[in-house]
Amino acid sequence: MKCYKAKWILTSADDVLEDMAIVVDEGKIIDIIPNSQVNFEEKYVKELGNAVITPGFIDMLTQYQYTDILDSKPQDFKRRLKKFFKMLSLKYTFAGVAQDNYSRKWAGILTNYFSLDRNQKISSFKHGVTESIKAGTTCIAQVSKEFKYFEIINKLPIKNYLFFEVFADSKDSSKKTFKELRAKVEDFIWHKGENTHIGIMLNSISGVHRKLWALFSKYCRKHNMLLMTRFAESLDEMEWLEHGFSDIDLLHKFMGMRKISPYSKEVTPVEYLDNLKVLTKKVLVANANYDSQELDKLAETGAKYIYQPLYSEEICNKKLDFETVLKYFPQNFGLSTQSFVPNHNFSLLKLASYLNINGVLDIVELIKYLTIYPAKILRLDNSIGSIEIGKDADFNVFKLDNGEDYNALINKEFPYSTYSKGRKLVKRGEVRFSL
């Protein structure tokens, strides 16, 4: 049993607590008491002084496998040759297409990634996880179509959702993909650890045949499973939906897929999925950058929202502003730090503070968008997302300077220490775990 005494606790559940302590036993918060009532042996008490305790943060969409793709170089001749030919293929396929085109950017990302060997990919993945935990993240929603990351994910010391990403370009490939992934998912569910949860990521409207939408939508509803998708995130996708073709077809060709056509060219993205009976309160949609006129309809479906401002600016060439997201998805969205800039910052707190530059939210409410609100979206709020008796001891400690109170948290970037189930994972930027 240990006791953590702090000047401030932002619980994400009640009002701000002052001069209180949390008592942790076997990874759970078993009590919250005034500092003056702490009477444990000294060795079991952690005096944090002028510090703020917050719940651990939740990153709503990560793809850690891409962390080092711009820094890592193919290590052997075979890999270098592979990258050379992939670059030739990219230039040939996208001849005449602007460098800042969404589909061309993704083709470049995939070229760099698939030119790396297995060890480099795994190293890139582990690097991203480590940097996130150092920034106070204690729960992630990781997206990947590769099964090799399951073993790493399943052994992480933090909570995680693994969303398996799928594509399909025809009715036949939809049936095959569904059958294969269903078998894999059910096997993983049988072998997963207590920190791991499984979901499905249907890539996008333009990357998934309508048959696969129908199959997995029904499957997820039947098994009470979360479903995620990228939604109206690029101009390429919007043009594909309007005309039946766009530069997104070049990306599919580059990926080895045949041309996919929309089942209807006279519907909006919301209508496209709603007509397929996809959009429900168990669906998480990322971005919606190019469908701002219909955000109210999207919100009415009950779908949850994932805000990816960095990714949207870098890859999609457009993003929703923070105030718009707050207007349409109040208390119903979470943030993603995903970015493809080398050595980018994984701090959710820094990202949230940057977005809230106009002070629309006070620090107490802002922290909820990193903690309890995304915990509810992932249906994990029974165990994480707030500092409450009975919940897991997932929390961050931020040290304050003399004279500062909890409001100074808005200017912080990294926690002094991070805990998951009462286990100290980070102290002063140094990790205390191995992957």
pLDDT at 83 over 90: no
Calculated CA dihedral for residues 17, 18, 19, 21, nearest 10 degrees: 10
- Short-list 30, 62, 70, 220, CA closest to 156: 62
What tokens does 211 get?
């048959």
Distance CA 215, CA 83 (A): 36
- The confidence score (pLDDT) of residue 342 equals 87
The residues, ordered by sequence, that sit 6+ positions from 268 with a Cβ below 8 Å of its Cβ are 241, 291, 294, 297
The answer to whether the beta carbons of residues 337 and 310 sit under 8 Å apart is yes
Average pLDDT over residues 189-214: 96
Percent of the chain with pLDDT over 70: 100
Per-residue pLDDT, 68: 95
pLDDT reading at 284 higher than 90: yes
Decide: 128 and 346 in contact? Cβ < 8 Å: yes
Per residue in 150-194, pLDDT (tens digit) is 999 999 999 999 999 999 999 999 999 999 999 999 999 999 999
Q: pTM surpassing 0.95?
A: yes
- Three-state helix/strand/coil letters over the chain: CEEEEEEEECCCCCCCEEEEEEEEECCEEEEEEEHHHCCCCHHHEEECCCEEEEECEEEEEECHHHCCCCCCCCCCHHHHHHHHHHHHHHHHHCCCCCCCCHHHHHHHHHHHHHCCCHHHHHHHHHHHHHHHHHCCEEEEEEEECCHHHHHHHHCCCCEEEEEEEECECCHHHHHHHHHHHHHHHHHHHHHCCCCEEEEEEECCCCCECHHHHHHHHHHHHHCCCCEEEEECCCHHHHHHHHHCCCCHHHHHHHCCCCCCCCCCCCCCHHHHHHHCCCCCCCEEEEECCCCHHHHHHHHHCCCEEEECHHHHHHHHCCCCCHHHHHHHCCCCEEECCCCCCCCCCCCHHHHHHHHCCCCCCCHHHHHHCCCHHHHHHCCCCCCCCCCCCCCECCEEEEECCCCCCHHHHHHCCCCCEEEECCEEEEECCEECCCC
Which one-letter amino acid corresponds to residue 135? A
Segment 333-358 mean pLDDT: 96
pLDDT of amino acid 246 = 96
Tokens of 248: 């997104």
pLDDT for 14 equals 82
**pLDDT of residue 86 exceeding 90:** no
Give the pLDDT confidence score for residue 77 in this predicted structure.
78
Phi, psi of 223 (to 5 degrees): -105, 15
Question: Average pLDDT for residues 30-34, to the nearest whole number?
Answer: 97
The reported pLDDT for the residue numbered 248 is 97
> What is the pLDDT at residue 266?
83
Q: What is the pLDDT of residues 40-64, one digit of tens each?
A: 898 999 999 999 999 999 999 999 9
Q: How many residues comprise the chain?
A: 435
Instruction: Determine the Cα–Cα distance for residues 315 and 235; give it in Å rounded to an integer.
Output: 11
Nearest to 127 by CA among 66, 217, 198: 66
pLDDT above 90: residue 265 = no
Q: pLDDT tens, 120-139?
A: 999 999 999 999 999 999 99
Percent of the chain with pLDDT over 90: 91
Question: Stretch 289-299: mean pLDDT, rounded?
Answer: 90
For the chain, what is the mean pLDDT?
95
pLDDT at 75: 80
What is the set of domains in the chain, with CATH numbers? Answer: 2-57+385-431 (2.30.40.10), 133-377 (3.20.20.140)
